[in-house]
Amino acid sequence: MKGWRTLFPNAWHIAVREYRARARTRSFVVGTGLLALVAFAATQLPVLIDYSITTSQTRIAVVVEAAGMPSDSLSVLDGQLNGPAGDPNTHKAFVLSWLPGGDVAATQKDLEKGKYDALLIVARDPATNDLGFTLRTDTPQDGPAVSSIVDALLSLEIDDRLFRAGTSTGALTAPFALTIGPTNAASAGTNSISHEVSTNLLSTGLIMLIFMAIITYGQWVAMSVAEEKGSRVMELMLNATTPLQMLAGKVIGNGAAGLTQYGIILAAVVGGLLAQGQIHKAVVGTSTGTPFGGMDPTVLAAFVVLFVLGFLMYSLLYAALGSLVSRQEDVQSAASPLTMLVMAGYFMSILGLQAIDDSWVKIASFVPFFSPYLMLARVSAGHVEMWEFGLSALVLLISVGVALFVAARIYSAGVLLYGQRVSLRQVFLAARVSR
């Protein structure tokens, strides 16, 4: 194959053409814009959630009929419902109207008018001298608001009983010595729930990025091959270039178009996360923690290596399968065996994330078709040796070479075969006789 020697500049010319042809389509422009918008919106989800929490408040009128309540009753109730006083970042979910000796009938009217969401009547049982409560509200009785109130009432009851026994909650809950720390200095910083969640989310996200890229942009490559064949422009191209140049150009051009789309979406995500604090402040009035907390540079480096190699291998094979059909409508079915493999790898990695130390995960992380996903899963879980990653990447690199050779063979034979459906046997026969 003389194409090996003269891959460039022709592969480059083809790549530029492919890139432009792809980036100019309406579906690319609209799709990229929409995805970027959705991605940006997704990053603002926490703001939205916080905002909806902020705007929801339960207003409670507390009519106190009971006599001899401890003087800190209101602050105990408020502290239980809204958290410790004095924290400006804490949102007040409950607004209390403390009405000692209040008029139940009048407050009931206010409740009915919607001035309050709940009416709480505090009375004292003459027999036991304990506090008794009546709560009237249309807030869901099995909802979080009511259960919070019930919890708070228990505290109020205990506070009252302690007061009557001559002591106070304050004395009982005075601070005591407590130290919590990691196993040792090395594991420091990894023992929070938020860290574990963000690591898991990140690796799931990165694996999904690889999956989406291969399945979407790989099919672009197959489509563009079938399109050339269908429009017969292939015959002009065949004299101008070699199959290898065409393959390389298509994979590079479509890959670059895909990366452009990814880049734009990623920029929207990063921009969204960076702006999240500001927007949160503007909308909710408080700021949030720093983004990218769980991001590990080794995971990102592994992602880039596996993404590039995995994409190259799969899209070369997609190109080969695309060359077997003459119409774009047939691309899906021709590519389905490969698409199955892509999906299989993805689902394996989802399962594998739950069982990262199982031997099947380890084995599959060296198998070319699955390693882009599973090795990434293992790397992000942090349970992998350097040599293991190196070996997996090397196997993948060799597979890219094999895929290039096989794809060039199938491609150079496939592009000259026209018909509804070309069998692999015909391709095999044709591949032996063409260059």
Residue 323 binds other proteins, judged by CB under 8 A: no
* Continuous H helices in 165-232: 169-172, 193-230
Residue 30 binds other proteins, judged by CB under 8 A: no
Who contacts 330 (Cβ-Cβ below 8 Å, separation ≥6)? 226, 420, 421
Task: Give phi and psi for 419, each to the nearest 5.
Answer: 155, 175
For the bound state, the minimum distance from the C-beta of residue 418 to other proteins, rounded and expressed in Å, comes to 7
Contact 99, 87 (CB under 8 A): no
For the bound state, the minimum distance from the C-beta of residue 24 to other proteins, rounded and expressed in Å, comes to 8
Beta 94-100 vs 131-137: how paired, if at all? unpaired
Segment lying near other proteins (by CB under 8 A), choices 20-28, 70-78, 148-156, 250-258: 20-28
Q: Which of 2, 114, 177, 289 binds other proteins (CB under 8 A)?
A: 2
DSSP letters for 103-160: -HHHHHHHHHHTS-SEEEEEEE-TTT--EEEEEEE-S-TTSHHHHHHHHHHHHHHHHH
Which of 13/92 has CB closer to other proteins? 13
Which of 182/419 has CB closer to other proteins? 419
For the bound state, the minimum distance from the C-beta of residue 221 to other proteins, rounded and expressed in Å, comes to 16
d(CA 228, CA 331): 12
Other CB atoms within a 10 A radius of the CB of residue 98 amount to: 15
Segment lying near other proteins (by CB under 8 A), choices 11-19, 29-37, 316-324, 361-369: 11-19
For the bound state, the minimum distance from the C-beta of residue 190 to other proteins, rounded and expressed in Å, comes to 52
- CB-based burial of residue 311 (10 Å sphere; 0-12 exposed, 13-18 middle, 19+ buried)? buried
Residue 59 binds other proteins, judged by CB under 8 A: no
Segment lying near other proteins (by CB under 8 A), choices 127-135, 165-173, 331-339, 418-426: 418-426
Contact 353, 378 (CB under 8 A): no
Q: Which of 7, 17, 54, 92 binds other proteins (CB under 8 A)?
A: 17
For the bound state, the minimum distance from the C-beta of residue 420 to other proteins, rounded and expressed in Å, comes to 7
d(CA 143, CA 158): 23
Contact 63, 121 (CB under 8 A): yes
Other CB atoms within a 10 A radius of the CB of residue 133 amount to: 16
Residue 428 binds other proteins, judged by CB under 8 A: no
Q: Which of 7, 13, 46, 395 binds other proteins (CB under 8 A)?
A: 13
Residue 15 binds other proteins, judged by CB under 8 A: no
Residue 29 binds other proteins, judged by CB under 8 A: no
For the bound state, the minimum distance from the C-beta of residue 232 to other proteins, rounded and expressed in Å, comes to 3
**C-alpha distances in Å from residue 73, one per residue of 70, 140, 158, 261:** 6, 25, 10, 59
For the bound state, the minimum distance from the C-beta of residue 33 to other proteins, rounded and expressed in Å, comes to 20
Question: Which run of H or E residues covers position 315?
Answer: helix 297-322
Residue 26 binds other proteins, judged by CB under 8 A: no
Which of 131/431 has CB closer to other proteins? 431
Segment lying near other proteins (by CB under 8 A), choices 12-20, 171-179, 206-214, 364-372: 12-20
Q: Which of 10, 82, 219, 261 binds other proteins (CB under 8 A)?
A: 10
Residue 420 binds other proteins, judged by CB under 8 A: yes
Which of 148/434 has CB closer to other proteins? 434
Considering only residues 213-252, where is the footprint of other proteins by CB under 8 A? 228, 231-242
Who contacts 146 (Cβ-Cβ below 8 Å, separation ≥6)? 135, 137, 139, 140
Residue 343 binds other proteins, judged by CB under 8 A: no
d(CA 410, CA 431): 6
Contact 399, 313 (CB under 8 A): yes
Write out the residues near other proteins by the rule CB under 8 A. Answer: 2, 9-10, 13-14, 17, 21, 24-25, 228, 231-242, 416-422, 426, 429-430, 433-435
